[in-house]
Amino acid sequence: MMTLGDISKNLEKLHNWSLDANSITKEFEFNNFNEVLGFLSKIAELVDKYEHYPTILISKNQVRTSLTTIGSGLTEKDFNFAKDIDKISA
């Protein structure tokens, strides 16, 4: 499990992610629902890559993504996954 210092250092490397209890979260906004679906499809590819499952909430054109490693709190895998999510959202 990562220390709060490790978590803070890793959060500094991400764009607009925040600590929410034992997970990191970010909200994404898109122009329409079709863009949301395209984004989710790209996240699905990352799920296969990392064998790791984010929590995703969808509301119209917004997507809220949360990452944590169940039983371990936050790990490097969560931060690497978040970096890749940022890449596909650009």
Torsion sign (Cα): 75, 76, 77, 80: positive
Question: What is the structure's pLDDT at 30?
Answer: 96
pLDDT in tens, 73-89: 899 999 999 999 999 98
Count of domains observed in the chain = 1
CA distance 64 to 29: 9
Query: Domain containing 70: what range?
Result: 4-89
pTM beyond 0.85: yes
pLDDT in tens, 41-76: 999 999 999 999 999 999 999 999 999 998 888 999
Residue 42 sits in a domain whose CATH number is 3.30.1360.20
